[in-house]
Amino acid sequence: MKSKTSFFNKAIYKKNLSLFWPIWGAYFLYELFTGPLYLWFHFGKERSNKLEILLGSIGGKTDIVAIAIASLIVGMALFNYLFTSKSANMIHAMPLTRLELYGTNLFSGFTFLFVPQLVSFFFSVLVCLANGVAEVQYLGIWFLACLGMSFFFFSIVVLCVMLTGQLFALPIYFVICNLFVEGIITGISLLTGMMAYGVSGTSLQGGSLRCLSPILYLMDQVKLTGRYSIVNNRGDYELTEIQMHGGGAVVCYAVVAILFYALAYYGYKKREIECAGDLLTFSWLKPLFRWGAGVCFGFLGGTLGMYFLRDMVENLPFVAWPIMVVMIGMFIFFFAEMLIQKSVHVVSKRRCKECGVFIVFMALAFSGIYLYGYSSAHHIPDVDEVQYAYVDMNYPVEFEGEDIAQVLELQKEILQQQSVIKEELEMNEAVNGSGYVTITYRMKDGSVLTRNYTLPSGAEVSTEMFRRIYEWESQADSFLRQFIEYDYESVSRVTDAQLEWYDSSTTNYMYRSVEGDGARALFDAAIADAQAGVLQKYNLTDYREPWDTRTNESYATINIYYYHAKDNWQSMYDRMNGITENTNSLVDSSSNIYVEDSAMNLRSGMYVCFGEDCTNIIHVLVECGLIESADELEYISDDIYY
């Protein structure tokens, strides 16, 4: 009778558990410390919002990195027998099928990864319930997300195992699988930014291709964020809801993982035992390795070489860059072949022919990147293609309709003068300083085009451009759209304000506060002084003059806090970047929090620098009792910091 096919061997499973207990034990401790023990400690120590403590224990990028590292270490341990000839021959000489070995090791890996997460989840629930926190569904959501990510990362590790016969090549392959596409996108963007004036080093967005760098994509997409609500008239806020983001991405990656496990098993069946110790287990990988290493390290080495030589060799010709890229790439090409063959005798007629094709490819790739950068740098859209245009020196100024032509003309002038601008920057930037101008177009097709230019201060070539931009920024409507936000005219609720000043006798900052009508009056006074054109000079920098001769206006400061209607609010920076929904925090943008009151309004504030000629603000300060007279104000200058 034909024996039954087995997918699992109990003896090997038990051996894996006992042999590799330090690995799953360490991960188990990590889960306990970041889960239930974290909650227990903070619930007992802090009297803050318990839901906020719960959010602090889950949904972090650290967990995703920990899952990836744990998956890698587990895979290296369970399949380590494939990396030495002695172990590989011994294991495969046993009366075990490869399917049985593969299935048992997979199940062992799932145990090492899933059980610590399950135990941590269980005890975290108990800790929450013991402390009166009933919203344990968030723990369940994050637990399921961690299971899905573990399932996916382990599939990448297992697939990489089947592609190499060297243990320490496995983490390198794992990193490449997770970062390769992001590395290409970043590399091309940085090269383009170095070649093309005005093109940012992050110009190539990549779009949906970024999902091919899983760990970075998951760290960006998968998270839990909090929604906060205002709880009193002072503007204090409290976490009321936790939201999950990126669940769909986890599901998609988990489905892809099934394919990876199937491919890994197919590779295991085709893998020869004799390949243990080889860098690559399949011959079709060898040209990919040679070319991939040559391209990556060729561009990296050539670019770094160009960067250092440019400071040492005056008037270094541009052609030196592609020559270094090709030469270093060719060297790495043969060095990679040495690693594959485990020999220094790798120069052959066949390999030289392949290297010749590789050199042509490198030259074409460099030329393609250069042409892409050149065309990007000199591309100026047609006015009919642009919905909004923005010029940002101190802050973004918005143009629409016929006014967009002014921005197009400014960009044309900058490009026409770029050779003179670069020359002035090289000669005088360290002495006179510079200003940074960003031109952004929001196109009618929904895309965003951005160019960043550095202009020299105190230079004739840029003085007129700086003057023009400063005048645009000084216009009251543009200034207030940025200073208060785009909907400044519809702000109806101002809660409080705070006068700050520098006490020269104690060298300390002092402050006095006012609420209600007094705060509203200060808000209106700031608008009035901006409309009179006197507030702008204290809150903007004029880059026409060299930095060391620039006059710094003396100023005092007030903070004013108010609410935006949620449907109207929008930051000028969000508008410039094409973000049409209010997804940023008005309290702490780095924490992904939303703050709103019962009327679904959003709280914000402005930091106002003002001087002696801001008569409206000073008049209100006297009226509301924050100062007795204008003489009481003590103004400071940025000069005190130097």
| pLDDT, position 60 | 80
Q: Regarding predicted confidence, which is higher, 23 or 635?
A: 23
Identify whether residues 124 and 44 lie together within a single domain: yes
pLDDT category, 568, cuts 50, 70, 90? low
What pTM was computed for the model? 0.78
Whether residue 100 contacts residue 54, with contact meaning beta carbons closer than 8 Å, is answered with: no
Q: Using the predicted structure, report yes or no on whether residue 6 has a pLDDT greater than 90.
A: no
Identify whether residues 583 and 450 lie together within a single domain: no
pLDDT in tens, 592-628: 344 444 444 667 788 888 988 999 999 999 998 888 8
Identify whether residues 397 and 369 lie together within a single domain: no
242 in a structural domain: no
Overall average pLDDT of the 618-640 stretch: 80
Identify whether residues 339 and 457 lie together within a single domain: no
| pLDDT, position 592 | 38
Q: Which domain holds residue 103?
A: 10-179+210-217+247-273
Share of the chain above pLDDT 90, in %: 44
Which residue blocks in 385-417 are alpha helix, DSSP H? Answer: 404-416
| pLDDT, position 597 | 47
pLDDT in tens, 305-318: 887 887 677 677 88
434 in a structural domain: yes
| pLDDT, position 1 | 36
| pLDDT, position 641 | 35
Identify whether residues 94 and 42 lie together within a single domain: yes
Q: Which of 378, 429, 430, 441 is nearest to 405 (CA)?
A: 441
For residue 589, give the 3-state DSSP assignment. Answer: helix
Token code pair at residue 590: 């780095």
Whether residue 203 contacts residue 189, with contact meaning beta carbons closer than 8 Å, is answered with: yes
Residues whose CB is less than 8 angstroms from the CB of residue 287 and which lie 6 or more positions away in sequence, other chains included: 354
Rg for the chain, CA atoms, rounded = 31
Considering only 422-436, 445-459, 524-538, which range has the smallest mean pLDDT? 422-436
Identify whether residues 261 and 289 lie together within a single domain: no
584 in a structural domain: yes
Rounded Cα–Cα distance for residues 503 and 483 (Å): 26
Residue given tokens 């009179």 in the structure block: 532
Q: Using the predicted structure, report yes or no on whether residue 150 has a pLDDT greater than 90.
A: yes
| pLDDT, position 58 | 85
For residue 372, give the 3-state DSSP assignment. Answer: helix
Residue 411 carries which side chain, given as an amino acid letter? Q
Q: Using the predicted structure, report yes or no on whether residue 590 has a pLDDT greater than 70.
A: no
| pLDDT, position 585 | 38
Largest CA distance in the chain: 106
Q: Using the predicted structure, report yes or no on whether residue 279 has a pLDDT greater than 60.
A: yes
Domain total of the chain: 4
pLDDT category, 567, cuts 50, 70, 90? low
* Centroid of chain to Cα 567: 27
| pLDDT, position 503 | 66
| pLDDT, position 295 | 93
Rounded Cα–Cα distance for residues 498 and 496 (Å): 7
Identify whether residues 15 and 58 lie together within a single domain: yes
Identify whether residues 462 and 510 lie together within a single domain: no
Identify whether residues 162 and 298 lie together within a single domain: no
Compute the mean pLDDT over every residue in the chain, rounded to the nearest whole number. Answer: 85
201 in a structural domain: no
DSSP 543-566: TTS-TTTPPPPPBEEEEEEEEEET
163 in a structural domain: yes
Token code pair at residue 301: 């080495």
pLDDT category, 237, cuts 50, 70, 90? low
| pLDDT, position 33 | 92
DSSP state, residue 627: -
Give the residue from 361, 377, 393 where a domain finishes: 377
Identify whether residues 103 and 57 lie together within a single domain: yes
Q: Regarding predicted confidence, which is higher, 188 or 176?
A: 176
pLDDT category, 202, cuts 50, 70, 90? low
Q: Using the predicted structure, report yes or no on whether residue 508 has a pLDDT greater than 90.
A: no
| pLDDT, position 204 | 60
451 in a structural domain: yes
| pLDDT, position 512 | 86
| pLDDT, position 352 | 93
Overall average pLDDT of the 503-509 stretch: 66
Give the residue from 440, 466, 492 where a domain finishes: 466
Identify whether residues 321 and 401 lie together within a single domain: no
Give the residue from 443, 466, 489 where a domain finishes: 466
pLDDT in tens, 56-84: 888 788 899 999 999 999 999 999 999 99
| pLDDT, position 601 | 61
Identify whether residues 634 and 599 lie together within a single domain: yes
225 in a structural domain: no
Q: Which of 460, 270, 482 is nearest to 393 (CA)?
A: 482
Q: How far is the CA of 386 from the CAs of 157, 447, 456, 532, in angstroms?
A: 46, 10, 28, 32
187 in a structural domain: no
